[in-house]
Amino acid sequence: MTDDQRGRPMTAAGRGTDGLVVETSHGPVRGSDDGEVRCWLGIRYAAAPVGELRWRAPQPPQPWREPADATRVGPVCPQPTDPRIPLDLGAPQGADCLSLNVWTSSDTEPGAGKPVLVWVHGGAYVLGSSAQPLYHGGVLARSGDAVIVTLNYRLGPLGFLDLSGFGDGFETNLGLRDVLFALQWVRDNIAAFGGDPNRVTLFGESAGGGIVTTLLTSPAAAGLVSAAIAQSSPATSIYSQERAQRVAGTFLDLLGVGRDGAHRLPELPTAAILDAAKRLFDRIPRQTPGMLAFAPIVDGDVVPAHPVRSAREGRSLPVPLIIGTNKHEAALFRLLKSPLMPITPQALRAMFETIAAEQPGLQLPSPEQLRTVYQGRGKVPGMRVARDVGFRMPSIWFAEGHSQVAPVYLYRFDFCTPMLRLLRLGAAHATELPYVWGNLVQGPKDPTFRLGGLRTGRAVSARIRARWLSFAADGVPAAPSAPRWRPYTAADRATLVIDAEDHLVTDLDRPIREAWGGEVLSFG
């Protein structure tokens, strides 16, 4: 027998009576306990997507009988590396990557019925992993108020490329299907770890937030999620199948197999696929500013219609939702010199022209309307326009729709440290993540608190974590000694501004909301 962390058996002597061995639907797993937190890492929830399964919906793994070592994270899903985004992924890449991690407080007993928080990481649908140190669930779990789950899902062309028009053997929205499969695993197994399968909050940021808002309009997610939190969701970055298949054709050309060679894809080296993915990832937003190379699509199956439009028509799942963005979202993309957000006047103009050409009846805001709201030396400041068209307005549009069927809590994250202010980042994209997870200092090279702010940052983190955990427990995001957070309604559009001190604002976004109008702006 082997000692492998990923669902392969250990020796029979590994089975114990200390609560670290948990029986799952596929086999027993043995975790670890540091005296405060128990964790089970690298639990395989699906078979390795290799060979004929590479572009297929996830399948159950082969069952095992002896306790699998769940003390180490599993492989990271294959992805191109980008020196502009030096992420610590937490583990080496590998094809056998469909795994998840579970954290609980050490005193949690099986059947305890605690609320469950399931995390979906971000990374533009092409980067990231559940093993990133930032997403270590120990701080959140230590309170004892919830069971924390983080998961991997397929990325880039392996998870979000629609090849279904190029032959048999290809299915759509594989990354979404992976998340749904993991949620089914949670439903079937989380009680054994002390979680309540009827209280599962799906939360995620950036692309992970986009997965959250997308699945909130998917019938396939019904019964798997009782609440949701979408942080900086690019909710409108969901494309038609026609557009997606044009992108897939370009990918096949870049790969060198041509559009008649898709049948070769299951056996091609992963390195070749990732190389083509990197080139496509860079090319698409330059050719069509504002568009991502890889993203969920409207396939009529997992995603029956555009999510924002579904929400505005009252067809989202009736579960409570926290949704919001950061005050200076686009600053990170400027720092990284990333083409993912159209910041320059030329890029913004090209984006608006493309949308107008695709949807001639759509009422776009005029340059004069935008200048009225975005004051800035005689021209429209691209950073704020990009922030609002990419993140803020999609979140508002989704919130307005979803509030018809369930309580919605809208926020804006404004807190930043003196160092982030000096670096002209402010409350940039992803800067709220350390506060949500309670992992405030990411190693000795982390500059965030070098000019101070750690004491206040810890207080901000405590409030956010309290609100997120309270929301997971009963759908109400409360925090001790903090303002009551009212639901977002058409009557007052209450918005929580998260800063050194939280404060509730009525209709915070009125100027931009009126400038952009009531029609949803997105690519077709």
What is the pLDDT confidence band of residue 376, given thresholds at 50, 70 and 90? low
Q: Which of 105, 130, 164, 206 is catalytic?
A: 206
pLDDT of residue 16: 43
Give me the mean pLDDT over the 388-415 stretch: 97
Q: What are phi and psi of 116, to 5 degrees?
A: -120, 135
Residue with tokens 């400038």: 515
Residue 137: inside a domain, yes or no? yes
Residues 112/140, Cβ–Cβ less than 8 Å: no
- Split into its structural domains, the chain has a count of 1
**Residue 232 corresponds to which amino acid?**
S
Using the 8-state DSSP alphabet, how is residue 501 labeled?
Answer: S
- Give me the pLDDT at residue 363, please: 85
Look at residue 368 and tell me if it is in a domain.
Answer: no
How far is it, in rounded angstroms, from Cα 133 to Cα 131? 6
Question: Stretch 296-307: mean pLDDT, rounded?
Answer: 98
Is 206 catalytic? The answer is yes
What's the half-sphere exposure (Cβ side, CA atoms, 13 Å) at 51? 3
Asked if residue 352 belongs to a domain, the reply is: no
Greater pLDDT, 213 or 18: 213
Q: Percent of the chain having pLDDT more than 70?
A: 95
Does residue 351 lie in a domain region? Answer: no
221-252 residue pLDDT tens: 999 999 999 999 999 999 999 999 999 999 99
Write down the catalytic residue from 26, 402, 429, 461: 429
Active-site residue identified among 329, 338, 395, 432: 329
Instruction: Tell me what the mean pLDDT of segment 389-399 comes to.
Output: 97
How does residue 294 score in pLDDT terms, banded at 50, 70 and 90?
A: very high
Residue 375: which pLDDT band, with cuts at 50, 70 and 90? confident
- The predicted pLDDT at position 524 comes to 67
Amino acid identity, residue 245?
Answer: Q
Structural domain harbouring 421: 12-339+384-516
Q: In this predicted model, what pLDDT tens digit does every residue of 133-172 receive, in sequence order? A: 999 999 999 998 999 999 999 999 999 999 999 988 899 9
List pLDDT tens digits, range 22-34.
999 999 999 999 9
Which residues in 378-481 belong to E strands, given as ranges?
408-413
Give the CA distances from residue 36 to residues 118, 270, 416, in Å, rounded to whole numbers and listed in that order: 20, 40, 30
Read off the amino acid at residue 227: A
Distance CA 131, CA 79 (A): 14
* Whole-number CA gyration radius for the chain: 22
pLDDT reported for residue 408: 98
- Average pLDDT of the chain, as a whole number: 93
Q: Model-level pTM? A: 0.95
Q: Which residues contact 480 (CB under 8 A, 6 or more apart)?
A: 466
Is residue 365 one of the residues assigned to a domain?
no
Q: Which CATH number goes with the domain that contains 424?
A: 3.40.50.1820
In a domain? residue 93:
yes
Residue 4 pLDDT greater than 60, yes or no:
no
Minimal CA–CA distance to 128: which of 148, 152, 150, 149? 152
CB atoms within 10 A of CB 479: 18
Q: Identify whether 1 is part of a domain.
A: no
Q: How confident is the model over 310-350, as pLDDT tens digits?
A: 999 999 999 999 999 999 999 999 988 888 999 988 998 89
pLDDT reported for residue 374? 86
